[in-house]
Amino acid sequence: MGSVTYEWILREVTEWPYPTKPTWILTSRELSEPDGEGVDVRFAGGEIGDLHDEMLAAAGDRGLWIVGGGDVASQYTDRGLLDELIVTIVPVVLGAGKQLFDRRVEGGPMQLLDTRAFDTGMVELRYEMRREGA
C-alpha cells in the first residue's frame, strides 16, 4: 500500500488489520510502525518491479493484495502484474469520486466476475484484468 493509505489506517483503525501478514508500505518518507503482536510492516522505496519477487516469496501460496491507492495499483497494471481487481463501493455521498487508477489502464475492458452485497449497504465488485492480445 502507499503511504497515504497506511496513514489513514493508522488514524482510523484501532488495531492493525493485517496481523501476521507481511505488509509493504511504498514510501520515500520515514513513517512510524504500528504497535501490536504479529505486525510485519516493511517500508520500501523504489519501483514495484524491484520488490515484486520479494513480495511473492513472502506470500508463499497466498496471493498479493494491493490495498488502496491509485498510484500503487497503476504501477502494478503498468507492469502487467495485476490479475484481479476487487472494488468495494461504500454508499457515502462524497460530492466527487476518486479514480481507481492514476492513469488509463491498457489492455482492454475489465471483465466483471462476481458481485457481493453486504448488510452494511456496501457492494463488492470483482473484476478480471484483461491483457492486451488476450
Please give the average pLDDT of every successive group of 10 residues along the chain, which has 134 residues: 90 88 92 88 87 90 82 84 84 65 72 93 88 58
DSSP 17: S
Rounded-to-integer distance, Cα 132 and Cα 75, Å:
16
Q: What's the confidence (pLDDT) of residue 121?
A: 87
- pTM of structure: 0.75
- State how far Cα 107 lies from the chain centre: 20
Q: What's the confidence (pLDDT) of residue 40?
A: 93
- State how far Cα 94 lies from the chain centre: 21
Rounded-to-integer distance, Cα 57 and Cα 77, Å:
20
**Strand pairing class (123-128; 22-26):** unpaired
**Which residues fall within 8 angstroms of residue 131, CB to CB, at 6 or more apart?**
80, 107, 108
Sorted by where each starts, the structural domains of the chain and their CATH numbers stand as 3-128 (3.40.430.10)
Rounded-to-integer distance, Cα 23 and Cα 58, Å:
10
The three cell numbers of residue 130 are 484483461
Cβ pair 69, 4 in contact under 8 A: yes
